[in-house]
Amino acid sequence: MLRTPTISVALIALCATVAGCTTADPTVYAGLASAPQLQPNPDDKGGRVPYRYKGNVDWRQYNKIIVDPVTVYNGPDNQFVKIADEDKSVLAGYMQEQFTQKLRARFAVVSNPGPGTLRLHLTLTGAKDTTPVLGPFSHLDVGGNAINAVQAVRGREGTMAGSVNYAVEIYDAPSNRLLSAYVAKQYPNAMNAGATFSRLKGSKIGIEKGADALLEQL
């Protein structure tokens, strides 16, 4: 019978560098319409938003928004980690719902372009679900919990937990002029043990945090 200390040692060895427990930071996905405009983001300190494009725009002149259907990115540089197509659809639907819901606090969500209207295009570019068994265990085990505590202080993702990568492109709806774009990665706090007990929970929490971050920006 495999003893808990043996599992703990194996977990610590596996996650010592955290490379095997986390996903890569988002990249400039070649298939994005905004890819030529995206540049390294000097304000990004934690790898959450490493590439961004900022136009000269006064967001206060906009009070309406069109939210395009979320696109699931199929380019060869996608960052899906063993995510089934049906789960990609689930996450895309959840992203559509969360971003639309959160943005209603600031904008009237409309269907047609007009004065004072933005158009938001979201692309789901990658995701990683929680690793079965080891995900919850890494938060209950003393060694794994210590690693996650360090990750939480650094603002980085926890061991064996889920995450989501996506792209945001914001246009002036009447002219179709790109106003802002960025690629991002979101994930639960590394000490959020509850996010590891459901396979897609970590990715969904990442989507919720991404919607909050966009609302704050606008």
Q: Quick one: pLDDT at residue 202?
A: 86
Gyration radius (Cα) of the chain, Å: 19
pLDDT of residue 45: 80
Question: Taking 70 as the threshold, does the pLDDT of residue 78 lie above it?
Answer: yes
Q: Quick: pLDDT tens for 7-55.
A: 444 444 444 444 445 567 899 999 999 999 999 999 888 788 999 999 9
pLDDT score for 75? 97
Give the H/E segment covering residue 171.
strand 163-172
Assigned token pair, 152: 């939480």
List the Cα angle 178/51/22 in 5-degree steps. Answer: 135
pTM for the structure as a whole? 0.79
The residues near 91 (Cβ < 8 Å, ≥ 6 apart) are 83, 124, 127, 164, 200, 203, 204, 207
pLDDT at 194 over 80: no
Higher pLDDT among residues 76 and 46, named by residue = 76
Alpha helix segments (H runs only) across the chain = 4-15, 85-103, 134-140, 142-154, 201-217
Q: Is 1 exposed, middle or buried (0-12, 13-18, 19+ CB in 10 A)?
A: exposed
Q: What is the pLDDT of residues 109-167, one digit of tens each?
A: 999 999 999 999 999 999 988 765 444 444 444 444 444 443 443 445 545 578 899 99
